[in-house]
Amino acid sequence: MLPLIKSLRLVALRDAFAHLNGALEPASDAYKLRNPLLLKAFSPKHERNEKGLRRFQTISAGMDNGIIDVTIKCSGKSFFKIGPNSTLTDLVCLYGNKAAAARIVKNFLQVALQDDTVSESTPLSWFLEGEQLPPSARAAHYAPQHSDGDTV
């Protein structure tokens, strides 16, 4: 079982990418694939589309895997050379977006977190800190494993 998701900042970061990718727009790949962060499929067991993007059975599974992915990347435990000292713009680009998209993510985060200090150069370590989810809400942010034992 994966650890509880405690940081409101990580949840907002995941949601910012879901917003950027149009996860609630029926015509978007993010919506059709139930993959709000447009995560790539790495395991041969993962269902994928022709672009190699992972397909999830539910939006909830896609959101759970999104929170796992941003947590891994912000903490520096990713295979990619990104970690706590990397910036928000670095993460935006890693997810396959142009650097200019960092402004959209930053604007979303400023509103969602009610914090105008968030910038494109905010280090990813910042998302691991800050206000925590109340214990009653944490259970809703467990990232359950799928029936095949895979998560991301």
Residues 25-72: pLDDT tens digits? 999 999 999 999 999 998 889 999 999 999 999 999 999 999 999 999
Q: Mean pLDDT throughout 107-132?
A: 92
In 1-152, alpha helices (H) = 8-20, 29-32, 59-75, 88-94, 102-113, 135-138
Helix, strand or coil, per DSSP, at residue 138? helix
**pLDDT beyond 60 at 94:** yes
Rg (CA), the chain: 15
- Residue 14 and residue 67 in contact, taking contact as beta carbons nearer than 8 Å: yes
Coil/strand/helix, residue 137: helix
Beta carbons of 82 and 90 less than 8 angstroms apart: yes
The pLDDT assigned to 5 comes to: 56
Model confidence at 116: pLDDT above 80:
yes
Cα first-last separation, the chain: 13
pLDDT for 150? 46
Q: What is the mean pLDDT of the chain?
A: 86
Residue extents of the structural domains in the chain: 8-130
- Alpha carbon 1 to its chain centroid, in Å, reads 19
